[in-house]
């Protein structure tokens, strides 16, 4: 068969591919999504959860921009928690457990109801390339699909190799075939190809777990969710549980180290530092007698449980023996063993910030193909690739989010300017402007911009305007309304705060760390009659208004710093300049600048090994 007249082809229907296809189609393009198995769209191949520290902020940003990860997560969650509530609001991070089968089915439902989006089930084995311009793809069955742009979101499938002890076999995930051909072709086209590895734990039959010996971890009483667009809230939740390993468990696992592909050299790829296998944790943290494990349900109607923290590539009989020595798992049965998977990725320094490759015009990479790990990191790259593929074929400037605009901007900038030597995972510590990048204000940062681009729809934009106006109204009221000592002193004393001697503005009272705006609304009759805290939308607005008042000084200071440093982003660097000719630069700077070819002075300043002195030399050279 010959397919023609497609604007954009998306290869792979994981989290990156689904967001890329939806964004490109919703922007008005004719899109073809090619995947090896249409039943497994956005499959949760590892942990059945979305969000978490910094990752929850990314899901909120995707939602604010017009993506679907937040909506699908809200519709299919089985538990919700807001992490880091004991810390400042810059650290608050939404997270949910998902029903993994419902999650995949809901993504397919969303995509099948997206106009201008077609599907084809097959494996892509080659790109069609005319000179330095991509022209489409060729599938394993020999079909030719032509397009103006191609987005590769192949996940762990490129030359994927699964390891369980001394056994290894080709696969992209357990039970799914790997993808061959593309890596070899891209290498021939001049791309650098490397290997990474990731892993997953045993899946356990919940009917054989003694939950009475585990610590229950319930969801929050208030389910906030991810999406600003929908008010979907689950009425009930499933609990997660906490277990712990022991020295006996560790000793049993050590018996299998000589068979471990990690320790005997069969795995060449580098694994994730912040999500290591259980054998890696035992080796690296040999002084620890115990490690915490999270026992997580995989859905509403299944007894399958995910043992978070017990990823392993040891022989299956060693995994099974060690598992049964954990308290509560003495009689446990497993559905399948844990395994490691090794796969090809392409160092992301080979990309522009738009995620278009430098070598081939119109070719975009998104997700684990760029060396990242995690559904959320993949999904946001897919969204940005879909947007920028649309902008490219319509001769418009790419959308590049700055580090002070979004965690998505931090992630992509880190990939392009710093590269990866291990699977990249987002943390709040990676964002230098995290007070600006809170989970509560993603819509304020991004929705209007994406509305004018055409991705965030009218209903979503209007909801943002209503929320923004309500927050401003609350802040204005608190700044212009005072309370008397008689009205608030009893409340202040009850919270261990000094009483007032005269009328005091409510916004000034709110600066006291012991008080929240919810305390004031619940205590003061004139506030309670004005703001109904039973209304979820009102609670959301009240919460954001409180953050803006309490942290106003910090927010303004960080914004000033961001504005100052962002000026470097406007100082463009020549794309064809030979930095070796600029001898005032350090040798390392010349090497790095010639390799990465940063587009502006800001990007250059964030490349590892580039010193402030090197930036000064470049600024002087550019007449700044």
587 burial (CB, 10 Å; 0-12 / 13-18 / 19+) is: exposed
Residue 316 placed within a domain: yes
- Predicted local distance difference test score (pLDDT) of residue 562: 87
For the chain, the distance separating the N- and C-terminal CA atoms, rounded to the nearest angstrom, is 57
Residue ending a domain, among 388, 417, 449, is 449
Integer Cα distance of 413 and 400 in angstroms: 9
Q: Is residue 592 in a domain?
A: yes
d(CA 56, CA 437): 11
Same domain, 404 and 535: no
User: Which of 290-294, 361-365, 396-400, 557-561 has the weakest average pLDDT?
Assistant: 557-561
pLDDT (mean) for 217-237: 88
Is residue 326 assigned to a domain? yes
* Mean pLDDT in residue range 158-186: 88
Q: Which of 318, 340, 362 is the last residue of a domain?
A: 340
- Domain identity same for 234 and 334: yes
Band (2; pLDDT cuts 50, 70, 90): low
Which segment of 48-57, 216-225, 272-281, 570-579 scores lowest on mean pLDDT?
272-281
Same domain, 144 and 229: no
Distance CA 108, CA 22 (A): 11
276 pLDDT exceeds 70? yes
Over residues 79-85, mean pLDDT? 94
Please tell me the distance from the alpha carbon of residue 230 to that of residue 225, in angstroms, as a whole number. 9
Q: Is the dihedral of CA 466, 468, 473, 474 positive or negative?
A: positive
pLDDT score of 49: 96
| Residue pLDDT, tens place only, 506-535 | 999 999 999 999 999 999 999 999 999 988
Q: Domain check: are 508 and 612 in the same one? A: no
The answer on 116 and 77 residing in a single domain is yes
364 shares a domain with 331: no
pTM of the model: 0.92
Q: Is the pLDDT of residue 230 over 70?
A: yes
Is 24 among the domain residues? yes
**pLDDT, tens digit, 9 for 90 and up, residues 555-603:** 999 999 888 878 888 888 888 889 999 988 988 889 889 888 888 888 8
pLDDT of 338: 92
Residue 298 and residue 104 in contact, taking contact as beta carbons nearer than 8 Å: no
For the stretch 292-314, pLDDT in tens is 999 999 999 999 999 999 998 89
Measured CA to CA, the distance from residue 600 to residue 592 in angstroms comes to 14
* Percent of the chain clearing pLDDT 70 (strictly above): 97
Nearest to 42 by CA among 116, 151, 153: 153
State the DSSP code for 206. G
The answer on 333 and 350 residing in a single domain is no
486 and 411 in a common domain: no
Q: Record the tokens describing residue 583, joined without a space.
A: 């001898």
Answer for the pair 57, 67: CB distance below 8 angstroms, yes or no.
no
Residue 22 has pLDDT above 70, yes or no: yes
**3-state DSSP percent of the chain in helix, strand and coil, to 5:** 40, 20, 40
Given this model, what pLDDT does residue 364 score?
98
pLDDT in tens, 103-158: 999 999 999 999 999 999 999 999 999 999 999 999 999 999 999 999 999 998 89
Looking at residue 86, its pLDDT comes to 87
Number of domains in the chain: 4
pLDDT-derived band at 552 (thresholds 50, 70, 90) equals: very high
Q: What is the pLDDT of residue 299?
A: 97
pLDDT 10s digits, 312-331: 889 999 999 999 999 999 99
- CATH number assigned to the domain comprising residue 526: 1.10.10.1800
Domain check: are 180 and 40 in the same one?
A: yes
Decide if 119 is inside a domain: yes
Q: Are 313 and 264 in contact (CB under 8 A)?
A: no
- Residue 596 domain-assigned (yes or no): yes
3-state SS assignment for residue 233: coil
Q: What is the pLDDT of residues 423-464, one digit of tens each?
A: 999 999 888 899 999 999 999 999 999 999 999 999 999 999
DSSP labels, 330-379: TT--EEE--EEEEEEE--GGGB-TTSBBSSSBTEEE-SGGGTB-SHHHHH
CATH number of the domain bearing residue 295: 2.40.30.260
Is there a domain that residue 566 lies in? no
pLDDT-derived band at 167 (thresholds 50, 70, 90) equals confident
CATH number at residue 63: 3.50.50.60
The predicted structure's pLDDT at residue 279: 86
Average pLDDT over the chain reads: 92
Average of pLDDT values for 255-278? Answer: 73
Kindly state whether residues 358 and 396 are assigned to the same domain: yes
Characterize the bridge pairing of strands 2-11 and 31-35: parallel
Does residue 271 share a domain with residue 169?
A: no
Looking at residue 269, what is its pLDDT?
66
Which domain range does residue 526 map to? Answer: 458-561
Give the least confident one: 92-96, 301-305, 346-350, 562-566. Answer: 562-566
Here the tokens at position 140 are: 């394993």
Domain end marker among 274, 308, 340: 340
Region class of 336: left (phi > 0), else alpha (psi between -120 and 50), else beta: beta
The pLDDT of residue 198:
87
Please indicate, yes or no, whether residues 17 and 164 belong to a single structural domain of this protein: yes
Q: What does the pLDDT read at residue 429?
A: 87
Q: Is the pLDDT of residue 489 over 70?
A: yes
Is the pLDDT at 481 greater than 70? The verdict is: yes
């Amino acid at each position: 068969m010959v397919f023609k007249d497609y604007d954009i082809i998306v290869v792979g229907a994981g989290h990156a591919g689904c967001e890329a296809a939806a964004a490109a189609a919703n922007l008005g393009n004719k899109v073809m999504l090619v995947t090896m198995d249409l039943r497994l769209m956005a499959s949760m191949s590892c942990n059945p959860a979305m969000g978490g520290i910094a990752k929850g902020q990314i899901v909120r940003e995707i939602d604010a921009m017009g993506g679907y990860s937040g909506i699908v997560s809200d519709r299919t969650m089985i538990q919700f928690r807001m992490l880091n509530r004991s810390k400042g609001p810059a650290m608050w991070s939404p997270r949910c457990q998902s029903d993994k089968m419902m999650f995949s089915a809901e993504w397919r439902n969303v995509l099948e109801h997206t106009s201008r989006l077609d599907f084809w089930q097959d494996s892509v084995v080659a790109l069609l390339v005319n000179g330095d311009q991509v022209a489409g793809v060729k599938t394993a069955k020999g079909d030719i699909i032509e397009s103006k742009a191609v987005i590769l979101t192949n996940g762990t499938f490129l030359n994927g190799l699964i390891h369980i002890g001394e056994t290894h076999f080709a696969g992209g995930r357990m039970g799914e075939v790997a993808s061959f051909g593309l890596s070899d072709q891209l290498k021939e086209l001049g791309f650098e190809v490397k290997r990474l590895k990731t892993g997953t734990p045993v899946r356990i039959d919940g009917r054989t777990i003694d939950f009475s010996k585990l610590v229950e971890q319930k969801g929050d009483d208030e389910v906030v969710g991810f999406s600003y667009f929908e008010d979907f809230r689950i009425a009930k939740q499933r609990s997660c549980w906490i277990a712990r390993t022991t020295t006996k468990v560790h000793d049993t696992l050590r018996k299998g180290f000589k068979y471990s592909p990690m320790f005997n050299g069969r795995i060449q790829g580098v694994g994730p530092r912040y999500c290591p296998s259980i054998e890696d944790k035992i080796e690296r943290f040999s002084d620890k007698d115990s490690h915490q494990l999270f026992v997580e349900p995989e859905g509403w109607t299944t007894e399958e449980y995910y043992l978070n923290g017990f990823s392993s590539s040891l022989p299956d009989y060693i995994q099974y023996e060690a598992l049964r020595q954990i308290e509560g798992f003495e009689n446990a049965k497993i559905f399948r063993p844990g395994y490691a998977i090794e796969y090809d990725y392409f160092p992301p320094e080979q990309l522009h910030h738009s995620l278009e490759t430098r070598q081939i015009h119109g070719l975009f990479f998104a997700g684990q193909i760029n060396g990242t790990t995690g559904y959320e990191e993949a999904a946001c790259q897919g969204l940005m690739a879909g947007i920028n593929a649309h902008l490219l074929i319509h001769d418009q400037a790419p959308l590049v989010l700055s580090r002070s605009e979004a965690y998505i901007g931090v992630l992509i900038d880190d990939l392009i300017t710093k590269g990866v030597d291990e699977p990249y995972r987002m943390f709040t510590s990676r964002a230098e402007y995290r007070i600006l990048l809170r989970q509560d204000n993603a819509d304020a940062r991004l929705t209007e911009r994406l509305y004018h681009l055409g991705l965030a729809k009218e209903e979503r934009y209007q909801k943002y305007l209503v929320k923004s106006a309500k927050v401003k109204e609350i802040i204005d009221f608190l700044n212009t309304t005072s309370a008397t000592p008689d009205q608030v002193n009893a409340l202040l004393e009850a919270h261990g705060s000094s009483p007032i001697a005269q009328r005091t503005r409510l916004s000034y009272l709110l600066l006291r760390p012991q008080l929240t705006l919810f305390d004031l609304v619940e205590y003061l009759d004139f506030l309670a009659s004005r703001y109904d805290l039973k209304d979820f939308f009102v609670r959301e607005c009240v919460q954001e208004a409180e953050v803006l008042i309490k942290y106003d000084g910090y927010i303004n200071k960080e914004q000033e710093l961001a504005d100052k440093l962002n000026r470097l982003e406007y100082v463009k660097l020549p794309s064809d300049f030979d930095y070796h000719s600029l001898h005032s630069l350090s040798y390392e700077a010349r090497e790095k600048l010639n390799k990465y070819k940063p587009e502006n002075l800001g990007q250059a300043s964030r490349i590892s090994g580039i010193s402030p002195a090197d930036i000064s030399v470049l600024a002087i050279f550019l007449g700044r």
